[in-house]
A and B are shown apart, each in its own frame.
Chain A
Amino acid sequence: MLKTLRKIASVGLVSELPPGPEELLRVRRALDERIVAVLGRALCIRHVDAGSCNGCELEIHALGNPYYNLEGCNIRFVASPRHADLLLVTGPVVKNMEAPLQRVYAAVPHPKLVVALGDCGCTGGMLGECPASLGRVSNVIPVDVAVPGCPPSPVRILQGIVTAISPPV
């Protein structure tokens, strides 16, 4: 126990300041300005892997590390889409995940925000559209913000999330 406490004290606080919004990432619609006021600063995210190679998931996990300290920004991942304000979708949407993704989207209460993550989510990626894959996320559900990268860095993902909840300029 003493070792654990000593380790916590010696490492100290390593968290960094979150990035600002990035207008370039906004793709679809302007958000109601009240959303930030309605949600406060707490935002609940449900992640759905719709066909990712799991590279994007590694960087989503990194958001939880003490440097990016996602929960310190009042953003957290939730276990059920019914608790979520925002869907974070990775991968091209493959055929076997089309119905599950649509069911998750339907279960999210309004107003639903969707951030498509990674080159696959933005464009279909290397796979594109083929018999087993429907391509980009916006081919299946409406997307508010698309964050390119393979995989996008944690800062870039955070920027995408902040952009999605920020009122348009």
Chain B
Amino acid sequence: MPLKRWWDGAHKIAGASSVRGLGVGAEQWLQVASDVADSGGVLHTLWASREPAGDAAVYGAYLTDLGVLVAELALPCGGESVCYPGLEDIFPAASRLQRAAFDLSGVRSSDPDLRPWLNHDAPYEFVRVDGEGVHEIGVGPVHAGIIEPGHFRFSVVGEKVLRLEEHLGYVHKGLEQRFTQLPILQGHRLAARVSGDSAVAFSWAYCQALEGMSGCALPPRAAWLRAVCLELERLANHLGDLGALGNDAGFAFGLAQFSRLKEDLLRAVSAAFGRRYLFDMVVPGGMAVDVSTQAAHALADGVRAVCTETIELRGIYDEHEGVRDRFTGAGCLTPELAARLGVLGLAGRASGQARDARVDLPCAPYTELAVAKIVQQGGDVAARVAVRFEEAQESGRLVRRLLAALPAGEHAVTVAAPAADAIGVGLIEGWRGPVLVALQAGPEGSIRRCHAHDPSWQNWPALEYAILGNIVPDFPLINKSFNLTYSGVDL
């Protein structure tokens, strides 16, 4: 059955611009997945829930050309162990999601990989590579730099990587459970802390779901200011990464310059919004603060100056033979492999996967902005650097455009808590890629369930492929070129 038929039979879900839900049986569950795959769509996220009575359900959210399709498979079981058909053969990214869902809810898929993912009670069984001269290098969880914890197990011959296996979950902090203890009108604060570098994206996605459920009409000024924040977050992260990538290629000049530009940007942001990082800026009903005309002008000038210097620095990166040599061909993820793995966001666009929720499924104000979708085909570090350079310019353009024509009016309105059992889905293109928040209200303004998804779920497994055949010393550079979140997937 083509995807269109499923879509037409599905009911609308509040929140992002085009989200529909569909209750399915076990056979349809697999059929929907394969029809989505046939139509060029991807699995975005998967989560499960179990009621105290024992009834369980598993949800799969797909990104398709028509919108976000959420399939729900109910598993009435009366407390017995249940098993639903795993999607890992159709969408490889499903495997870790299913294992995490089991750790969180006890709902098991048919995936033969039964190793716990978030639960670290037992030692992890890595896949061993045998052969003459093969040895293992274990790295982490505590790394030799200022980064988040995770374990990487390399199987190498000499310096060449034969296999990389990631073991994450070290910063699992029970976020989904914590959400259920918060009032629904306060959950955006925790959403902002799912992955701190994507605070605006996650808190906006949360608020989008909540406002959709409550029937809150977001004032235009609030939507525009949110987009300013989202693009500033993208620009700041891209600047940080461009500097770190230069440094990892042995070009310390790049780190000095880009970290200076990032600081210039953060200070301009702080002057306008009162904080360097925009945690708690996006609140239900709008924005925590308004921006004066004068502050908007100053911020636009600051962003322009940063973008102008970034163009100049790109020229220096492009002409530097050592940098070019390290970037080109390193960590290559071909468009075919990226499509098979369902790679999302920035890393996907650097490997020919032309998806950007700001263009494909835009919410206000992106519906009026004509965002340029930046796509490269190379799939190597150089391509991911090029996407960052171009997206940084595009974000700079968008920020200036938004600030120059901020709609008048309220920057926030009051939101009522939604009715119990209401469901909403928010989808925002953060700097790494599309983040999704699925929210279900409980009684009296509580949260029954909140699932937050970062595209790093899709992209971490892709890193295991991108490193193959490269040498171990190139791993920091290749890893940085993806720059995936640990906190955002460890939940």
Question: Which residues on A are within 8 Å of B, measured CB to CB?
Answer: 3-4, 7-8, 11, 14, 47-62, 64-67, 77, 79-80, 91-92, 94-97, 100, 104, 125-127, 130-133, 150-151, 153
User: Which of B147, B195, B259 lies at the interface centre, i.e. has the most chain A CB atoms within 10 A of its CB?
Assistant: B259
B170 in contact with A96 (CB, 8 Å): yes
**A133 contacts B259, C-beta separation under 8 Å:** no
Q: CB-CB contacts of B159-172 with A at 8 A, as 1s and 0s?
A: 00000000001111
The smallest C-beta distance from B137 to any residue of chain A, in angstroms, reads 15
| B146 contacts chain A at the CB level, 8 A cutoff | yes
Contacting residues, chain A, for B255 (C-beta < 8 A)? 64
Asked if B47 CB lies within 8 Å of chain A CBs, one says no
Report the interface size for chain B: residues with CB under 8 A from the other chain. Answer: 48
Which residues from 126 to 183 on chain B have a C-beta closer than 8 Å to any C-beta of chain A?
141-142, 144-149, 169-175, 177-178
Residues A58 and B196 in contact, CB atoms below 8 Å apart: yes
Q: How many Å lie between the Cα of A96 and that of B178 in the bound state?
A: 17
B174:A131 contact, CB within 8 angstroms:
yes
The answer to whether A49 and B148 touch (CB under 8 A), given A54-B196, A64-B259, is yes
Residues of the A chain whose Cβ atoms lie less than 8 Å from the Cβ of B256: 65-66
**Distance of A76 from chain B, by nearest CB (Å):** 12
Collect the chain B residues with CB atoms within 8 Å of residue A132's CB.
172-174, 177
State the CA gap A60–B146 with chains docked (Å): 8
Q: Is B411 an interface residue (CB 8 A)?
A: no
Task: State whether A54 touches B486 (Cβ < 8 A).
Answer: yes
Q: How far is the CB of B197 from chain A (nearest CB, A)?
A: 6
In addition to A51-B173, A64-B255, 5 A-B residue pairs with Cβ atoms within 8 Å of each other are A52-B487, A57-B148, A97-B171, A133-B174, A151-B196
19 A-B pairs, CB-CB below 8 angstroms?
A: A4-B320, A7-B312, A11-B260, A48-B149, A52-B171, A57-B147, A57-B148, A58-B240, A62-B262, A62-B263, A65-B263, A95-B172, A96-B171, A97-B170, A100-B141, A126-B193, A127-B178, A131-B174, A132-B177
Is B193 in contact with A55, judged by CB distance below 8 angstroms?
A: yes
Q: Which residues of B contact A130 (CB under 8 A)?
A: 173-174, 177-178
Pick the residue among B142, B175, B266 that contacts A62 (CB under 8 A): B266
Residues A92 and B173 in contact, CB atoms below 8 Å apart: yes
State A59–B319 Cα separation when bound (angstroms).
31
Say if the beta carbon of B288 comes within 8 Å of chain A. Answer: no
- Pick from B145, B316, B487: contact of A4, CB below 8 A: B316
Given contacts A14-B260, A62-B259, contact A51 B171 (CB under 8 A): yes
How far is A7 from B319 in the complex, measured between Cα atoms in Å? 14
Work out how many contacts link A and B, with CB atoms closer than 8 A. Answer: 134
**Chain B residue nearest to A130 in the complex (CB):** B174
CB distance from B432 to the nearest CB of A (A): 12
A100 to chain B: which residues have CB within 8 Å? 141-142, 149, 170
- Which residue from chain A places its CB closest to the CB of B181 in the assembled complex? A130
A20 vs chain B, min Cβ distance (A): 21
Q: Is B11 an interface residue (CB 8 A)?
A: no
Residues B259 and A54 in contact, CB atoms below 8 Å apart: no
Q: Mark B17-50 against chain A: 1 for CB-CB distance below 8 A, else 0.
A: 0000000000000000000000000000000000
Tell which of B146, B196, B262 touches A47, judged by Cβ atoms closer than 8 Å: B146
A39 to chain B, nearest CB (A): 21
Q: Counting CB contacts under 8 A, is B276 at the interface?
A: yes
Shortest CB distance B192–A (Å):
8
CB pair B189–A126 under 8 Å, yes or no, is yes
Interface status of B257 (Cβ within 8 A of chain A): yes
Among residues of B, the one whose C-beta sits closest to the C-beta of A81 is: B142
Q: Say yes or no: A54-B174 contact (C-beta < 8 A), given A4-B253, A64-B259, A65-B259.
A: no
Q: Which residue of chain B lies nearest to A131 when distances are taken between CB atoms in the complex?
A: B174
**Interchain CB contact under 8 A, A97 and B487:** no
Measured CB to CB, the nearest residue on chain A to B199 is A55
Minimum distance in angstroms from B397 CB to a CB of chain A: 23
Q: Which of B147, B177, B195, B266 contacts A49 (CB 8 A)?
A: B147
Return chain A residues, CB-CB under 8 Å to B178: 126-127, 130
Q: Is B277 an interface residue (CB 8 A)?
A: yes
Tell me whether B279 is interfacial, beta carbon within 8 Å: yes
- Cross-chain contact A94 with B147 (CB below 8 angstroms): no
Q: What CA separation (Å) do A151 and B260 show in the bound complex?
A: 19
Q: Which residues of B contact A125 (CB under 8 A)?
A: 193
Q: B171 to chain A: which residues have CB within 8 Å?
A: 49, 51-52, 91, 94, 96-97
Report the nearest A residue to B259, measured CB to CB: A65
Q: Is there an interface contact between B259 and A66, defined as CB atoms closer than 8 Å?
A: yes
Chain B residues lying within 8 Å of A3, measured Cβ to Cβ, are 312, 315-316, 319
B8 to chain A, nearest CB (A): 40
Residues of A contacting B193 with CB < 8 Å? 53, 55, 125-126
Q: Which of B194, B197, B313 contacts A58 (CB 8 A)?
A: B197
